[in-house]
Structure 1
Amino acid sequence: MGLPFASVPAWASVSAVVLFTALSAFSGPADAQRRERPGKEVVDAACGACHLSGKDGAPRIGDAAAWAARTGQGLTMLTEHALKGIRKMPAHGGSTGVSDLELQRAIVYMVNNSGGRWIEPAAMRTSTLTSETIVQQQCAACHQGGKDGAPRIGDRAAWTPRFAKGLDRLVASAVHGHGAMPARGGMPDLEREDIRDATLYMFNYGLPAVAAPQPPAAPDPHHKLVSGLDVYFGMMRADALRSQGAKAGGTKLSIPAGRGYYHLNISVEDNKTRAPVTDAQVTMQVSDGMSVETKTLERLAANNAVSYGNFFRFTSGNSYNITTEIKRAGMPSPVTAKFEFKAP
């Protein structure tokens, strides 16, 4: 059984309709209707209750010494303190209806009425500014023309003495303000990293772009420098040599029958004199990890050059370690050069 409806007077029904209509007219996102107040209005409505008189240790508006210690922290940090509350100051200064942007504007207003020269933010900063943008939007006002003795953008002779005590000291000077320069260059929401990058941009402006260093050339897998000897490794398919009727020094090569054979070749030079080594005894060991084949390489002379070579058989798809041992009269020990090859 349903609950009985209570009787409602007709005038109450009409009033409800009127109220609903009125509320509907004002419905919609709050941000669309909100007007972000300038700093003075926020201070007059909220912050001034403590900061006009210095109540509970709040820095008094107009007290330059009290605010100087705080301006060095920057707008970001001061805003965070105001949002979360600090010491006897409640979160949002006790006024929950004050937006983050309004808090920033109020802080800037109080700073500027206490000896500061900050710029009231038009909107909350939502992205990281590039050093070029910071310089163009703010620093150039003085540094472009050298106003009040500011070092000109790109004038390294003027900037160099200021770097004498290090970049960190120079950035700290910009953070706290120096001479005619206001704290943080008048942009209170700049972080130290922003100021550092902007300073370096002004110092380096006009310098030609430095090309990225070329990556080191990859080592030649067919060349090894060992114990003062340049060892060069080469190879050719036996099928190709067979079709060309290849010869070495006028003598036709004895090319083995069958598939998978390659002629492996070693040339050796003295690294200092570039003289070819023609009196060596060279052996080569080829292994795929399962089997090992070792041969003496024959001395080959062709086109006024001397090399050492022999034929080895490879299985397609296998990877091989190739170790060459070079012996010469008068050498205390053999020279070993290692190469790798994967048979196609």
Structure 2
Amino acid sequence: MADSHAKMTQATPQEIIISVLAGLFAPLLAIFLIVMLVLSIQDKHLPDTTSEAAQKATLDRIKPFAHLVALDANAPKVEKSGQEVFEAVCTTCHTPGALGAPKFGNKGDWGPRISQGYETLIKHALEGIRQMPPRGGDGDLSDTEVARAVAYMADAAGAKFKAPEAAAPAAPAAAAASAAKPDPSKGKAVYEANCAVCHATGVAGAPKMGDKAAWGPRVSQGYATLYSHALNGIRGMPAKGGNAGLSEADLANAVGFLMTQGGGKL
């Protein structure tokens, strides 16, 4: 009986270990290959943050989409030169020659237009022509600014147009003459409602009401000059003290009141 049944061979510990390792080799190899494949795919999809194009793309994504500019609605308008208007408005089309616009400095493009005359070109710029909108699309441009831009562009292509000069400021005496004669007794109420914010405390360099030392140099300039400064603004003081709706009669009364309180005479 014992001879007919062969005894089972018992495995040694070394053989068991080899068998286990051999069985794990294939799964481990498969896992390793899968991990390497995933890592290689991720490497290919990582963005290149070192190249100039990548840095530019990043800056484009984070740049502000708008710029807020605070403007004083009561500040006098300062008209731009022809070059300033061109660089702010006209260059969009006239530099590349877009939409049939004559290219800046191109005598071939501008020659036929210059021959039409300065007044005709100004008319076309003000009213618009073909693809160009009125005033180049900026309705805030004054007639003078448009004319200056036309002269700047045409002259760059060989014209000899003379751009309009800035209008001379009104003389103080003329400005004062246009206002009613000041009544200091009525000016006190106007002062308290509009001027006291600065002149009661002397803020922003404003001469304090009643301070004869501060008002002395100003009073010596005369009422006409002081009224012109109040009407048009000067240094830190906006036109009409910041109240665009203030009538010239009320303004004159306020100037008269401050002037007499500072030791001046009308």
* Structure having the larger proportion of residues in strand: 1
Q: Same fold (TM over 0.5)?
A: no
* Structure having the larger proportion of residues in helix: 2
For the aligned pair, the TM-score class normalised by the smaller chain equals 0.3 to 0.5
